[in-house]
A and B are shown apart, each in its own frame.
Chain A
Amino acid sequence: MATLAVTAERENYLNKEYGIRSWLLTTDHKRIALLYLASITFFFFIGGFFALLIRLELLTPAGDLVQADTYNKLFSMHGQVMIFFFLIPSIPAVLGNFLVPLMIGAKDLAFPRINLLSWYLYIIAGVIYLHCIVTGGVDTGWTFYTPFSTAFSNTRVIEAGIAIFIAGFSSILTGLNFVVTIHRMRAPGMTWSRLPLFIWAHYATSIIQLLGTPVLAITLLLVVFERAFNLGIFDPTRGGDPLLFQHLFWFYSHPAVYIMILPAMAVESEVVACFTRKRIFGYNFVAMSSIAIAVFGFLVWAHHMFVAGISLYSALIFSILSYLVAVPSAIKVFNWTATMYKGSISFTTPMLYAFGFIGLFTMGGLTGLFLACLGIDVHVHDTYFVIAHFHYIMVGGAVMGYLGGLHFWWPKISGRMYPEGWGRLAALLVFAGFNLTFFPQFILGYMGMPRRYWQYPPEFQVLNVLSTAGSTILAVGYVLPMVYFLWSMRYGKIASDNPWGAAGLEWQTPSPPPTFNFDETPEVTWEAYNYEEIPAPAEVNVER
């Protein structure tokens, strides 16, 4: 039965104050999380729109939908929007912002005003980038490689560079806030070994944001300076080395992929534990592997440059290191799987996303190892094999982690349940659509179809058509949650404090939480994932 808001609603962070000023000038981490939710969803659909145009063009071998120059802009902006304005912020800025203080028993993040500043920097960056899009866009590839970006491109490189530079500082400030909060503001009794693995993973993510993003910032700044002031740092005609740009760029951009996946792994740990009703197997290993991923992730960047002209010896070093970085990720996959063994499993929407995540992330990760092998990479570099690989991780992994997390914590965030039937349907559509879109691309790449080409030999058409068909299913799967989440805010079943019977401090405060999170500062005397002490809910989100 549809329930409207009950009379005499308890005061919470949503109804404490109304009006646009109370939202735009808020310092409440929970409201800021929702501000981010709205903004990144907006950019997700912009990036998705570019993707749809790409897939439409690729329905036919000829370049017949858009011109080649336009196609270059499409894939460049699809990448930049999706990475910098959707994936990098997504889980940390939405779920991390909302949950980190709650999970550790704090009233807010360490620096609430810097948190708001972080969002405004994101918005300013987004507005600048939108202006870039409508005034001609950028065609350098999301990677801004020199000297094309500095000397030859006729598109809005400076504007895009400045926008992403500013977005980078938004990311840095979020990371800074999380690290200080986790070190300094844990509730009494919340020792490091009692922290949810969600916190460990976000801590690791924040380290990457802090140490890697500044290098991207300086690199983009140098590109902007070179273009604007005719400096010669990357100009080969004046003795500059285009590879220097690539070293600097990938020093950030490889760890950036771990910024995108670690938070999804954070969600995975929480969801798997809850819907198997067990402590995550090998807690210490999972916690340490998050840190290991953050550290090792900085040691492998030149695997993006194997065929660019680096020395063979450095290629060997980076290849070996790239194999090593897979180990901590694999440890996590084994541990999640081991958790499920003899667990009491419920196939709720978040758990469906979690299952999808494990399988798809594993495939993406394994194909990364193929690419780490020098011999194979020579063959498949710059082909659709690479595109399939990273979409398996970023979409099959990160986006599904994000959606799973949104569903899992939706009751806490909104005080409402989403409709479970629709949730499961959307999850299945996303899974099916995703695989149909991207699995053919592995084959295409292996067969030799290059990436970033707007036309292709006719023998590749069948697989491309399948891929495009998949993308339409995927699109439906993404639109559905938008619709029913909005629907649920008015008509969804009212959620209890802990509808999933989950462990974690965030579930011990009302749904939605009061502005200062806890009526009294919690004192923690129990270990994380104490499921043996928590009764399973009588019914898990059964729709009436």
Chain B
Amino acid sequence: MSEHIMSSKMYYTIWITLLCLTVVTAAVSFVDLGPFNTVVALVIATVKALLVVLFFMHVKYTSEKLTKIVIVAAIFWLFLLLALSMADYGTRHLS
């Protein structure tokens, strides 16, 4: 757990960025980007999530490797669930 105190300016900067990204993602959904609408929406969401994790949850400033391992492992496990299930759903039309 990091002990040094973050500047409040950092928090406000992240906050404004998150709000802007929220407006952007809502606005972009009205623009026709074809199949990329989904990609853009998910990319923006991931950027927002990363900002919260790294800065609000202090992961960028922690020296604790285990925290990062836990986060990566959890995301990876979710990915396993989705990917291996889609191995079935994605190939049903083939057989």
A residues apposed to B, CB below 8 Å: 183, 211, 215, 243, 247, 251, 298-299, 301-302, 310-314, 317-318
Contacts and interface: CB of A to CB of B under 8 A. Distances in A.
A251 B66 CA distance: 25
Contact of A183 (B66, B89, B92): B66
B77 A314 contact: no
Nearest to A305: B88
B88 A311 contact: yes
A321 to B, nearest CB: 9
A38 B74 CA distance: 34
B27 interface: no
A325 to B, nearest CB: 13
A298 B80 contact: yes
Contacts of A247: 85, 88
Given A215-B81, A298-B77, A311-B94, 17 more contacts: A211-B74, A243-B88, A247-B88, A298-B80, A299-B80, A299-B84, A302-B84, A302-B88, A310-B88, A311-B87, A311-B88, A311-B89, A311-B95, A312-B91, A313-B91, A314-B84, A314-B88
Interchain residue pairs A-B with the least CB separation, the first 10: A314-B88, A312-B95, A311-B91, A313-B91, A311-B92, A314-B87, A310-B88, A247-B85, A211-B77, A311-B95
Contacts of B81: 215, 251
- Which of the four size classes fits the interface of chain B? 10 to 19
A313 B80 contact: no
5 contacts: A247-B85, A298-B77, A302-B84, A312-B94, A314-B87
A178 to B, nearest CB: 14
A313 B89 CA distance: 10
A314 B91 contact: yes
Interface in B58-95: 66, 73-74, 77, 80-81, 84-85, 87-89, 91-92, 94-95
A311 B95 CA distance: 6
Contacts of B77: 211, 298
A314 B94 CA distance: 11
A83 B47 CA distance: 41
A318 B80 CA distance: 13
B54 to A, nearest CB: 23
A298 B81 CA distance: 9
A211 B80 CA distance: 11
A181 to B, nearest CB: 14
B85 A313 contact: no
A298 B85 CA distance: 12
B74 A313 contact: no
Contacts of A302: 84, 88
A233 to B, nearest CB: 14
A214 to B, nearest CB: 10
Nearest to A310: B88
B84 to A, nearest CB: 7
A313 B84 contact: no
A311 B81 CA distance: 16
A95 B38 CA distance: 49
B73 to A, nearest CB: 8
A301 B81 CA distance: 10
Nearest to B86: A314
Given A215-B81, A298-B80, A313 B66 contact: no
A361 to B, nearest CB: 26
Nearest to A251: B81
Contacts of A251: 81, 85
A189 to B, nearest CB: 20
A247 B83 CA distance: 12
Contact of B95 (A243, A313, A318): A313
Contacts of A299: 80, 84
B77 to A, nearest CB: 5
B1 to A, nearest CB: 12
A313 B92 CA distance: 8
A313 B91 CA distance: 7
Nearest to A302: B88
B89 to A, nearest CB: 8
Most buried by B among A251, A310, A314: A314
Nearest to B84: A299
Contacts of B66: 183
Interface string B22-35: 00000000000000
B27 to A, nearest CB: 31
Nearest to B77: A211
Nearest to A317: B87
A211 B81 CA distance: 11
Most buried by A among B66, B77, B88, B95: B88
A302 B94 CA distance: 18
A394 to B, nearest CB: 24
A124 B26 CA distance: 44
A182 to B, nearest CB: 12
A219 to B, nearest CB: 11
A301 B66 CA distance: 28
Nearest to B87: A314
Most buried by B among A243, A302, A311, A317: A311
